[in-house]
């Protein structure tokens, strides 16, 4: 299923499903004809989506080194001779990497400027791609709707700082996540904050969308601020529910992550 954004002639974002619950996004700049993919869970599906639009792949933007984000890198690079971009941390395990980037670097896709933010936590080299002119950020497995990535390599302190970088983006920013985990995240979030009205409304919306097999992402910074417990670790309402009122936010974050891991 696709979420087509924007008008003809403007840069487009196309989100589609891959494998069982991964999402993939193409960014296409129609002026230059350049097209980037964020992560490559499934080369065959990505080729199908490109060919359906007569697009050539010019860039692969890697969020992190887990197999379901890099599996198609070499096949796509061979087919399209595209540039593979990834974090300088963990860079040596990203297949076919041509350019290693770090926090603050910029990538040019035609006239579009894509900014790199480093978000360690899920992995140490995890990076996300922010496109200010499209009001969109591609976050891989750092953030999910009402959830966040498991801490495989980084500490809770790392991840809390990473999440604050996303929280600081403009509230209207669309967040493109790497997986459809929203419904199970929603149950957990609601168990922590049963009285949160915005959360109740979002859960109802998510249940409606999933009943029709529709995606629940992209989500938005302003929506996650109100509903995502991992973004709300410094909010008194949530701290109270955890009997941690006034605790440092990174400690509250660590407690929420641990409870979710055991849920």
- Complex with Zn ion: residue 21 or 92, whichever CB lies closer: 21
Residue 140: enclosing H or E segment and its boundaries? strand 136-140
Distance CA 195, CA 193 (A): 5
The three-state DSSP-derived secondary structure of 78-118 is HHHCCEEEEECCCHHHCCCCCEEECCCCEEEECCEEEEEEE
Q: How far is the CB of 73 from Zn ion (least distance, A)?
A: 15
Query: Which residues pair with residue 87 across a beta bridge?
Result: 101
Binding to Zn ion, residues 197-226 (CB under 5 A): none
**Residue 169, SS3 per DSSP:** coil
Stretch that binds Zn ion, among 28-36, 135-143, 188-196, 226-234 (CB under 5 A): 135-143
At its nearest, how many Å lie between Zn ion and the CB of residue 122?
6
- Segment contacting Zn ion (CB under 5 A): 4-12, 27-35, 136-144, 208-216? 136-144
Shortest spacing between CB 208 and Zn ion, in angstroms: 28
Among 236, 237, 230, residue whose Cα is nearest residue 166: 230
* Residue 121, token pair as written in the block: 């936590």
Question: With the C-alpha atoms ordered 263, 18, 27, 78, is the resulting torsion angle positive or negative?
Answer: positive
C-beta of 34 vs 63, nearer to Zn ion: 63
Q: Does 141 bind Zn ion (CB under 5 A)?
A: yes
* CB 246 to Zn ion: min, Å: 33
Task: Please work out the total of residues on this chain that contact Zn ion, with binding judged by CB under 5 A.
Answer: 2
The residue number with the shortest CB distance to Zn ion is 66
Interface with Zn ion, residue 39, by CB under 5 A: no
Residues from 56 through 85 that contact Zn ion (CB under 5 A): 66
Nearest residue (CB) to Zn ion, 141 versus 250: 141
- Nearer to Zn ion by Cβ, of 29 and 141: the residue is 141
Torsion of CA 176, 86, 72, 120, to 10 degrees: -60
Angle between helices 249-262 and 156-167 (to 10 degrees): 110
Which of the stretches 38-46, 138-146, 229-237, 250-258 binds Zn ion when contact is defined by CB under 5 A?
138-146
Question: What is the maximum span of the chain, computed from C-alpha positions, in angstroms?
Answer: 55
Q: What is the nearest approach in angstroms of Zn ion to the Cβ of residue 108?
A: 27
Question: Which residues are part of the catalytic machinery?
Answer: 64, 66, 68-69, 122, 141, 179
Nearer Cβ to Zn ion, position 40 or 58? 40
CB 43 within 8 A of CB 31: no
- Site residues for Zn ion per CB under 5 A: 66, 141
């Amino acid at each position: 299923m696709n979420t087509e954004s924007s008008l003809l002639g403007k840069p487009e974002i196309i989100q589609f499903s891959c494998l069982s619950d991964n999402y993939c996004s193409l960014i296409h700049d129609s002026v230059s004809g350049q097209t980037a993919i964020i992560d490559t869970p499934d080369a065959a599906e990505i080729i199908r989506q490109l060919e359906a639009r007569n697009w050539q792949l010019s860039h692969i933007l890697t969020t992190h080194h887990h197999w379901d984000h890099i599996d198609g890198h070499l096949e796509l690079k061979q087919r399209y001779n595209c540039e593979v971009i990834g974090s300088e941390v963990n860079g040596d395990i990203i297949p076919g990497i041509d350019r290693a980037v770090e926090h603050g670097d910029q990538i040019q896709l035609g006239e579009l400027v894509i900014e790199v933010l480093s978000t360690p936590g899920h992995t140490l080299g995890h990076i996300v791609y922010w496109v200010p002119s499209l009001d969109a950020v591609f976050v891989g497995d750092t953030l999910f709707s009402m959830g966040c990535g498991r801490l495989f390599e980084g500490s809770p302190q790392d991840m809390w700082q990473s999440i604050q970088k996303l929280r600081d983006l403009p509230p209207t920013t669309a967040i493109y996540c790497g997986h459809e985990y929203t419904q199970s995240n929603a149950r957990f979030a609601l168990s922590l904050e049963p009285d949160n009205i915005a959360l109740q409304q979002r859960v109802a919306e998510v249940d409606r969308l999933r009943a029709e097999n529709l995606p629940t992402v992209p989500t938005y910074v302003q929506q996650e601020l109100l509903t995502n417990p991992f973004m709300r670790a410094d909010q008194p309402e949530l701290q109270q529910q955890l009997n941690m009122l006034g605790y440092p936010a990174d400690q509250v974050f660590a407690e929420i992550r641990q409870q979710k891991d055991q849920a």
